[in-house]
Amino acid sequence: MSETVLAGKETLRIRQMTIDDFSLVFHIGEEVFTAESFQSLYRTWDEYEITTLYNSDSELCLVAEAGGTILGFALGTTVTKHNSPWKYGYLVWVGVRSDIQQGGVGSGLFKEIKHRMKVQGVRMMIIDTSADNHPAIRFFEKQGFGDVQEHVYMSLNLSRKSRKKSVKKS
């Protein structure tokens, strides 16, 4: 657990998420991970994201609260890759209530999850977000992330009939 004092003099407490926090975390996520801003991601924000990550890595499921109100959350996991001796820390979701963004809550969550990952032996943290999510990219850069790697997502609509090209015989 960690504590810092927010600009409004409230104490920001970062602690492990409990099942009692699930619904609030879910609703904050619904507010900040909108279909418009997260449409290209292969992950979708739903209740299973919370329960699955909580079941596998509860120590990396954190909430930020001040004055008894949940302001944001960070959900992560660790990944060990075949052929790599490194343990990776994947910060899957981080979200802060829109009315309190840019007030230091995200940074507080990040600091604590990074600390916990380090304790678990993580050597490199990874994140992914949409290329046009500029606020999040600025946020991650501020936390020290770099080495941006581009990844292309493609789609094929299987419900459309495929059109065969007709070949004319001369």
Query: What residues make contact with ligand COA under the rule CB under 6 A?
Result: 32, 93-96, 101-107, 129, 133, 135-136, 138-139, 142
Nearest distance in Å: CB 169, ligand COA? 55
Residues 132-138: contacts with CB within 8 Å, 24+ apart? Answer: 132/37, 133/37, 133/38, 135/101
Interatomic CA distance for residues 63 and 30, integer angstroms: 15
Give the position of tokens 């997502």: 153
By beta-carbon proximity to ligand COA, the closer residue of 89 and 106 is 106
Nearest distance in Å: CB 123, ligand COA? 21
By beta-carbon proximity to ligand COA, the closer residue of 8 and 166 is 8
Interatomic CA distance for residues 108 and 97, integer angstroms: 14
Q: Are 117 and 60 in contact (CB under 8 A)?
A: yes
By beta-carbon proximity to ligand COA, the closer residue of 97 and 116 is 97
Nearest distance in Å: CB 23, ligand COA? 18
Nearest distance in Å: CB 163, ligand COA? 38
